Structure 1
Amino acid sequence: MELKGIHHVSALTANAKQNYDFYTTILGMRLVKKTINQDDPSVYHLFYADEAGNPGTDLTFFEIPHAGTTYQGTGSISGTSLRVPDDKALEFWESRFSEFDVDHDGIKEQYGRKIISFRDPERQRLMLVSDEANIGVKGGKTWVHSSVPADKGIIGLGPVKLTVKSAAPTTAILTEILTFKQTGSYPSIIDGQNEILVFSTGEGGTGAEVHIETRDDLPKERPGRGSVHHVAFRVDNEDELAKWKDRLVAARLPNSGLVDRFYFKSLYFREPNGILFELATDGPGFNTDEDDEHLGESLALPPLFEDRRKEIETNLKPLDTKRPHN
C-alpha cells in the first residue's frame, strides 16, 4: 500500500460566480464538475482541474455564502500550489497576474524550484510552481479550450503546505501511518531560520509532496472564505481504500469509514493538529455522468440526490457554466 500523491484540495468560497470567473478565465482551469456539497446540498461544490479532471489536478470549492474572514494560524492547510510546465511559463504568469491585477509576489525560488505566490479575490493562499526539473508524478494536460496557452497552463496540484504548532505529531502520521518519507527541508521566508520540512510519497516530485511549517507564535486558524477545508491523497482503488480503513482502525485513529462520493470513494480522518485528511480513489472519475466534451456545463447530481433535483435547483443561485459549442 502506497499513496500515489495529492488527489485534490478542497477550499471555501463565499461567491461561486466570482470564484468560477477567476479560476476559469484568469487561471484557465477547466470546471469539470458543477455539483453540490453532498453534506449540504443547498450549496455548490465546484471542481476545477485539467482537461479531464484527472486525479492530482483537482482544486475544489465549497460555496459557503455567508463565510466570514479567515484568521490565519496553525492547524491549517496554509498553502496550495498549482503546477505549470516550466520556468518560462512563470514569466507568462507574472505578466498575466500584473495585467489582471492579481495580488502576487513575483518569481522567486523555493526548494530549488521557481515559484510565484499569489492570492485569489478571497485571499486564498496559492502558489504556482515550475515543473522544469520535476522527475516525479507526471502532471495532467491543459484543456484545449483554456483561456491560457497549452504550454503555459496549469497541469495539476503541487505541494500542499501545512502550518502547525508542533510538527512531530503530524510527521508521525505522515511517516508511520501514511507512506510519506522526509526528503528535504528549506528555510522559512518568515525568518530564514525556521526549517520547513518536505515529505514525499509514491513517485515523489511536485505532485506528491506535503510541506510542514512550524509556527508556535500563531493562534489556531479560524477558517472562512479563502481557507482550505481538507487535502486528499490518492489511493489506487476501493479494495486498497478498505485496507487503509483497517490500518486507521488498528492505529485507533477515528475515521469516517468508507464514503461513496460517486466520482470517487473516500475515507476521512483528522491528524493530531486537527487538519482534515482524506484518502480518495483514482476512479471512477468525472465522466461517470457527463461526457468529456460537456464536463461541468450542467448541474450534476449523484444518484442519491437525483429525485430531489427540482428542490435543489430552486435553492441554488443560478450559475451559468455552459460553453458555446460549434
Structure 2
Amino acid sequence: MSEQQRTDPAGATTEAPRLGGLHHLTAITARAAGNLRFCTQILGLRLVKKTVNQDDTTAYHLFYADGAATPGTDLTFFDWPAPPERRGTRSIARTGLRVGSAESLHWWAGRLRAEGVAVSEVAERAGHLSLDFEDPEGQRFRLLDDGGAGEAHPWERSPVPAAHQIRGLGPVTLSVPDLRPTAAVLTTVLGMRAEREHASADGPVHVFAMGPGGPAAEVHVVVQPQLPAAREGAGGVHHVAFRAADAAELRAWAERVAGFGLRSSGEVERYYFRSLYFREPNGILFEIATDGPGFAVDEPMETLGERLALPPFLEPRRAAIEAGLKPLD
C-alpha cells in the first residue's frame, strides 16, 4: 500500500486528496505597527488584508503576500500582547521565504545588513542555497533560492526591486523530539513523500514533500530531543497551513483526518478561505485551507489591505471593533 493510501474499517483502500503545497503561515507579534513596517518596508511584502482575529476581535490579523495575494505566499500575524516565545521543540522553528536566484540572496544579505539585521552567510542548507535571519521580535526566517521556478507576481509599490522580491513561502522547519509520530501523519495521513535527509548543526533534517514538490511544497523536520518544549509567544509561529483546491477537497480532508482518529476543528468558514485545524502527535498545529475565494472577495485587488476588512458576520460590530484596536501608524 502506498503512503497516500489507507484502509478504512470496511477494508476498502482510499486515496488521500492531494495537497497543493504551503498555503500560509501564521505567527505572533506583540508589536503590530513595527511588524507592519518590517514586513512591508524591509521585506517588501504587500499588506493584502488588514482584518481581525475572528476568534479574538481585539487583535489584528495581518496578512502579507505577493502582489496578487496568491495562495502559498501568505505570511500572517496575530497581534497579541504576549511575552517572547521560549524556543524549543514541538514547534515550528523556522519560516522559509523564496527568492528567485542566488544573486537575489546576496542582494538580500546586503539589504538586511544595511538595515541592521544580523544575517548568516549564504550557504546550502537542507538542499537549498539560503540565508538565515531574524525579525525584530526574534522570528527565525530563511530566504532561499527556488531557481525562479513557477509564476511570480511582484508588487509594483514594493521598495524591493521586482527581480529580488520574495516570491512566496518556502519550506517550514518543524522541531520535534521524536520523528516517528510526526512522519506518520505527514506521510500516511497527509500523503507527503519522505524525500531526503540532511545533516545540520541542529540535528538531522528530514525533508517531506507534497503535491508538485520543490521548496514551495516542502516540510523540513529536525529532530531535537535534547530541547525543552517551546512556549508560544511573540516571535514564534502559531500554525502552518497546507493548500486544498476547494471546499469539496477540504471536506474529503476532514473525513480523512477523522478516519485516522485525529481530533480536528471540523470545517471552519474563514470567509477568505475554508479551514480545517488539527494537531499532529508532537503538538504542532496544522491547518488545511482552500485556495479560494481569496482576499479580493470583499475588496478590489488594487486596494487590498488599505482599510479594515471584516467578514460579513462581524460587520455589524465594526464600530466597536475599530474602537478597540490600536493604531498601526
Instruction: State the AA in 1 paired with 2:73.
Output: T
Query: 1:124-139, aligned counterparts within 5 Å?
Result: 124-132=139-147, 138-139=150-151
Q: CA deviation at 1:139?
A: 5.0
Deviating above 3 A after TM superposition, structure 1's stretches of 4 or more consecutive aligned residues are: none
Q: Which residue of 41, 45, 60 corresponds with 1:44? A: 60
Q: CA deviation at 1:112?
A: 3.4
State the distance in 1 between where 2:124 and 2:267 align.
40
Query: 1:75-86, aligned counterparts within 5 Å?
Result: 75-86=90-101
Normalised to the residue count of structure 1, the TM-score between the two structures is 0.94
Task: Show CA shifts across 1:239-279 (max 9, x none).
Answer: 01001111111111100000000000000000000000000
Q: Which residue of 216, 232, 256 corresponds with 2:225? A: 216
Task: Show CA shifts across 1:102-146 (max 9, x none).
Answer: 1211211113321110000000010101112x65xx354121111
Q: CA deviation at 1:319?
A: 2.0
CA change 1:267–1:300 in 2 (3 A) is same
Q: Which residue of 130, 137, 158 corresponds with 1:115? A: 130
Retained in 2: the 8 A contact 1:29–1:142?
A: no
Please name the residue that 2:199 is paired with.
Answer: 187
Normalised to the residue count of structure 2, the TM-score between the two structures is 0.93
State the distance in 1 between where 2:30 and 2:199 align.
34
Retained in 1: the 8 A contact 2:39–2:64?
A: yes
RMSD, aligned CA: 1.0
Instruction: State the AA in 2 paired with 1:159.
Output: P
Task: Show CA shifts across 1:5-52 (max 9, x none).
Answer: 000000000011000000000000000000000010001000000012
For the residue of structure 1 that corresponds to 2:72, the secondary structure is coil
Retained in 2: the 8 A contact 1:54–1:140?
A: no
What runs of 5+ residues in structure 1 fail to find an aligned partner? 321-326
Greater displacement, 139-148 / 37-46: 139-148
Q: Which residue of 132, 154, 157 corresponds with 1:142? A: 154
Retained in 1: the 8 A contact 2:127–2:198?
A: no
Q: CA deviation at 1:300?
A: 0.2
State the distance in 2 between where 1:111 and 1:275 align.
21
What runs of 5+ residues in structure 2 fail to find an aligned partner? 1-16
Aligned length: 313
Q: CA deviation at 1:148?
A: 0.1
Retained in 2: the 8 A contact 1:81–1:159?
A: yes
Please name the residue that 2:88 is paired with.
Answer: 73
Task: Show CA shifts across 1:60-105 (max 9, x none).
Answer: 000002x102111111000101000110001110110111001211
1:58 and 2:74 matched: yes
For the residue of structure 1 that corresponds to 2:87, the secondary structure is coil
Retained in 1: the 8 A contact 2:197–2:206?
A: yes
Query: 1:135-174, aligned counterparts within 5 Å?
Result: 138-174=150-186
State the distance in 2 between where 1:211 and 1:266 align.
22
Q: CA deviation at 1:58?
A: 0.2
Instruction: State the AA in 1 paired with 2:130.
Output: I
Matched residues, percent identical? 50
